[in-house]
Amino acid sequence: MASRHTTLSQTYADRAQAATHPLSAYLFRLMDLKASNLCLSADVGTARELINLADKVGPSIVVLKTHYDLVSGWDYNPNTGTGAKLAALARKHGFLIFEDRKLTDIGKTVQMQYTAGTARIIEWAHITNMNLLAGKETVRALKQAAATWKERINYEVKTSVTVGTPVSDSFEDGEETSAVPEDQPRRDSKDSLPAGQPYNGNGRKGSVVSVTTVTQQVYEPADSPRMCKTLTEGDEILYPGIEEAPVDRGVLILAQMSSKGNLMDDRYTQACVEAARENKDFVMGYVAQECLNTEPEDDFIHMTPGCKLPPEGEDENGDIAGDGLGQQYNTPAKLIGLCGTDIVIVGRGIIKAGDPPSEAERYRRKAWKAYLARLG
């Protein structure tokens, strides 16, 4: 059981006020607004399934967790592809995108995996996570990459310019003019001019000078997850009650796992905690099995996988069988109330249900009830 840290008695709204990371503050506000502390682990096989599931379950969740490399048919187009479509749904339904990449390698490699390659994770995922087995310097490397990306976000500037040298539609004084045929009247008076034609007083047409016009319109880049201008208008709906998510990026450190026999011991977990405290401007928190906030200034977000409910009507206090592949399950009441996590991560419990949106709502209600009970 987690020690009773002060964050366990604070509302998400209060924690939003105190959060130092912009994305953490936004997420806490979103949780309070939607009365949800549910993350969907959207481990489906095709891009079509992923988009459809995110749209249907989006109203119940605050985080959508993806594994882009599991998805067949992922469209990598930064403007209209799968990432851009997920970003539009995140704005519409009010959730953040968490790419569960578990980055772990030398610093330069993780930087490239995060910002480059086919997926360009940083452009559409608000959050990613990392494994600390390669050492704490990888956190600094990722933070550096995110800062550089933020500084270099390009803005598409579409400028329409009409230019030209002032030109009269008649010759200047002193220049020869073409002879007027005998059978055509000379326009030597104001009355003889066509309607609207200026009269210059000497029997000749007045000069009409072209005017240079400069029109400039500035757009955010289409590959920004905040606004994708190339998607359909219906996808540009913004969830009511909250602005768009900040462009800042955040990382979760994989500090503990829910799989049986994993090798993440106490020494490893403590190193994760130290790395988080040293990089609070980038590290939002942890993927962990319990609350790791112990110091007074700690206010890290905790997300926990391995959450499952028994079928409707069955006792929720009993043990829940694993999946036979090492995954161990716990109920929202245990994870939030006893272990002190903030957001429960649910995958197959929702995805494999006969009615995923209804089941997502059931998980949302149970997880939120556990949070309210913890406050009480």
Annotated binding residues for substrate, as ranges?
Answer: 43, 65, 258, 327, 347-348
Alpha carbon distance 90, 160 (integer Å):
33
- Of the candidates 91, 39, 41, 35, the one whose C-alpha atom is nearest the C-alpha of residue 61 is 39
Angle between helices 47-57 and 356-375 (to 10 degrees): 50
- Of the candidates 321, 323, 324, 327, the one whose C-alpha atom is nearest the C-alpha of residue 304 is 327
260 annotated active-site: no
Task: Reduce the DSSP state of residue 331 to 3 states and report it.
Answer: coil
352 annotated active-site: no
Residue ranges of the binding site:
43, 65, 258, 327, 347-348
What are the Cα distances from residue 176, in Å, to 173, 179, 298, 305, 353?
Answer: 8, 9, 87, 88, 89
- Of the candidates 155, 140, 118, 157, the one whose C-alpha atom is nearest the C-alpha of residue 247 is 155
Task: Reduce the DSSP state of residue 58 to 3 states and report it.
Answer: helix
- Are the CB atoms for 233 and 20 separated by under 8 Å? no
Alpha carbon distance 272, 133 (integer Å):
9
Collect all residues with Cβ–Cβ distance below 8 Å to 139 and sequence separation of at least 6: 130, 132, 251, 253, 275, 278, 279, 282, 283
Alpha carbon distance 147, 110 (integer Å):
14
| Of 55, 56, 75, 105, catalytic | 105
56 annotated active-site: no
| Of 32, 100, 248, 299, catalytic | 100
The total number of residues written for the chain in this structure = 376
| Of 102, 205, 280, 369, catalytic | 102
266, 270, 273, 279: CA torsion to nearest 10: -140
User: Which residues belong to the active site?
Assistant: 100, 102, 105
